[in-house]
Structure 1
Amino acid sequence: MAVYRGIDVSNWSGTIDWRAVAESGVEVVIIQASEGTFYRDPYLHEYYDGAKAYGLKVGFYHFFNPGSSPTPQEQARYFVDTIRGLDSDLKLILDFEQIGGLDNYELTLQAIEFLREVKEYSGLDTAIYTYTYFAQHYLYEGLGLSEYPLWIAQLSEGGPSPNPIWGDRYVAWQYSDTGRVRGINASTDLDLIYDGLFLDDSEDVPKEEKKPQKIPGDRQNPSIQSGIIYYTVQAGDTLSSIAQKYDTTVHEIAVINSISNPNLIYVGQVLKIYPGNRVIKKRRKIFTTTYIVQSGDTLTSIAMKFDTTVQALEGLNDLPNPNLIYVGEVLKIPTDSRGNTAAPSTRQYMITYIVQNGDTLSSIAAKFNTTVQSIVSINNISNPNLIYTGQILKIETSINTENRGENSSSLYIVQKGDTLINIAKKFGVNYKELVEKNDITNPNLIYVGEVLRV
């Protein structure tokens, strides 16, 4: 069985030099086309044209949003319409890595409904992408999902682990998400791709004289939604006037063209523009497991248990108020692509902390992944609402203070107007030592709320 070097890309990859990619030995590229029924990758047609121009085999995937709306059928048709008129060398792929609050049975049915609708609507065969932990824990056996070829993600040298649906069978393996490929200025997903992911798997790979299968429809002039305009800056132009002309935003033009200062453009500069106001979305895959909130849990205690942060849990679960979680609520917990959450942190460090203006015990507890009750108990505080600026508190925390012993140095939260020099003077420490202790690369860049070891 032949094996081909592949990569998968989305707008996260930025502008790509496809000649360099092809010369690096990459043979296959899989491009994100869409997500849900609300997002089409703005680089889709640019990536497609570039990859095809240099002889790469091309496939497409859709990032699936499970739940009642939009339905699997609506998402399937949105996916096919997005790539209508483009030549696909690979089976059309469902990217399946979210739960959406569904149980295993319903989740698996939605995947099958999507794959069937794509096949019926496009006439092309389909495949599914997921990661090992998801396949092991969130899918239901016996419904027929195993009939669809699997592209599996697991970042390990020994190959993917078996799962109950496909066993040890797969047609592609994503083995790295931090690869470096010539022509791409970002970390890149690396894949090994086998015959079974190609649309015509009766041969090792479709021959050059054999036309790849085409999704029905015409791709004539690029549409307003998917077309690209290359605009040459004229005298008197500003990004604002150009954005207004093409119904887009200054931010979007700046992001697409890597412009660090939107006020600095020059006559003759060529800008790439996607007309039509659209948000450029930079999304990286976030692998997750789930946790059911128990009595007595707080977001802080859950973050400590799984060695993550309150901020990560807030973002992953779209929590408007981190202080309001309820017993029985299902939370997503970040994992690596093998599905491993970090081991619960058991080692604790005793530090001292100087209360800053505006602090409350609740805010201090949140900063150091501990609880108000713990701080109150250790410091014999009779009234948790009465703490004062300059008060010294002992705090037991899971923050690693890098072998400083049980009585670690103090932590200081940067205030408005602070500089490293005045912080060093305030605590009577050496300025250079402060930089080294905190791994600061630019001493002129510290921000309000940053926690420093002093």
Structure 2
Amino acid sequence: MISQRIGFILLITLFILSGSITPVQAEQDNKPPQLVSQSVTPQVVAFKGGGAPGALTINLETNEPTRGYIKVIGNGVETKFHLSNEFKTDHHVKKAPWNSSESKPLPEGEYSLKLYLQDEALNQMHGYSLGTFQVADTQTSSSLIYDIMASPQPISPKYKQTEPLTTIKFNASRPAKAKVVIKRNKDGQTYFESGFFTVKDGTGEFEWNGRDNEGRIVPNGKYTITIKAKDLTYGDAPVESYSRDNFSVLAVENGDHDIPQDRLKEILTEHPLEQSTINRNDDQKNEISGTFTLHEDVNVTAWIENGANVHIKRLGTFSGKGKHSFAWDGTEFMRGSVIDGPYYVSYYIDEGPARGELHSDNELRVEGGIDVTVPKDAQVVKINTENPDFSAFYDQDYHGARKGERFPIIEYVEGRQAYKTLISEGAVGYIAPEHVDLLNVDSIPEKWGEATQKVTAYRGPNHGVKYGTFEKGKTFRILRHDGVYYRVELNTGEQVYIHENGMKEIEKPKETSTYVVKSGDVLWKIAQMYDVTVDQIVKENNLDPNDYLKIGQTLTIPTSKKPIPFNPDEKNGEYVVKSGDTLWKIASKLNTTIDQLIKLNQLDTNEYLMIGQTLKYPTSKTVHMVEGGDTLWKISQKYDVPLDNLIQINDLDPSEYLYYGQKLIIPQGKPVDGDYYTVQSGDTWWKIAKAHKTTVTMLLEANDATGDQVIYPGQQIVLP
């Protein structure tokens, strides 16, 4: 047996030696592969670019399929640029000046390129010179990804629409693997993230249909496009993020984030209620039941919500076509009784991935239980921020509040450090005090406080956002005492919080300031600068109004306001809003129109005027210099303007004398709005009211006057 095997092996050996059997291998031609063409560009590169290109582009063509690498030598470094692992005749590579052996950029200097190739017959090319290149040391780097933008936009993704709506384009300075990430600006949430794709030709494109990774249409708003990319020109490049400020923003408008209401009504039909009221005092009315029909196989969660559209109890989850029923006993999540008021059923419909909420038109009411009312003297707050910290039932975020919206305060809840407010009938909410301003400040009884030490003021009563510090002795007007904090009003009108340990309540402080008389000053001019009367300055300083002021003389001014230099040549005057003022009354006083006041001050007609608010009003450039013998009556006749307008615009006291050299602003023409009456000799408020079939009260209100106010012949008054 052994001899037979030996014989077989010898026989095979003889066949091989005789050439009858040839081993399977590539033909050995003993000729190394040859280059047909070569190019290496550019001559100067820098890692990540900047002042030079960021990568070498090497193109090689060989006479037969080859594979191999390029050795990079110079400046004490030796590393490799690898070609394809496959045998091929064309090699195209783009490489950054990167030392793959030590995982760091090549240092500045000159490098030589040596080519090493092998063909399929294992013939080799060793160290063929491809020339040299220079690595520059640039201080700046060239971004891998740049010029990110989406077009067209804005986009409006619609229900059941899935085709691409926009193309996101960007440029790549070097070969890269990239992915698209889309985040909503409002909350920073990532709504979409693509997979990685390769960008070789310098331009990347990605089409998007306005849906998230689950296939749901994204909410309306502005989104930032970020490209996450990995540089393929060197081995261990990290994945980095790239965006382009305002240029990589994509807007989504009028999209169907939620299933359209018409479609929801096709899916679900609600049936009328037999009973819609729960009365705590009637045992026969302690539950409300209802039914609805689903026309498609979807999942539905039914909720009870209050008048603020806040969910307070889940009624159940339902699925499948057919009729379904629910019942509610007037309780909330924790089985406690709800506040008296209106309630509604809402149906959250999920047809995957689209979702939407259908709000019932049937009003449910709860009566005879917990009644929440607002005090008659309740203070009102106005939201002062775009995203207020406002919670509703069981600390659910209440998203219905908008900047500028007003709510009455029920009480301050110290445990929450929040104002409890009434959102709507039967619905209360809790809002952070720093996110609202008290509106009816003038109706709050005046209380004053003084800092007993250096104090820190905060935006809210929680040591949260610091406003600033105030020295001992600083006085504040106290608006509220919320827990252990005083809510105070600063001179600027801002409202802040100071801990009660650093404050004591005091009598109203006397507000004064000092003024040093300069050349050309007269009492009237100084009074105008500080918005006070001449008589007030005279009494405060015990002056004789007929005496001249002396340069360098120090006067006590009965106000803490900063002086406003009086410039009678200005095109616009300024008026400080007083109690009871309306735009109509102010326009009448200042001989202008409501429209002019609105445009000049950029007013929102939905906002109330604030006492102390300064309004600009159009004035004439005409200024009259008081001369000997001048009276208000003579000046009003000379310029054909109502006497009362002249007094109002210049804030004059008719009982005081004019002064030589005093400058008076002359208003433009006669009043243009409303009905007016020119006072005649012997007229009284009562006579005028009777003659024009109105009441004295209405006449006084229309003119912002009091019954003891003297009227003058030639004065024009407003008729209600």
Work out which of the two has the higher radius of gyration on C-alpha atoms and give 1 or 2. 2
Higher strand fraction: Structure 1 or Structure 2?
Answer: 2
TM-score (ref. length: structure 1): 0.27
Tell which has more relative contact order, 1 or 2 (C-alpha 8 A, sep 6+).
1
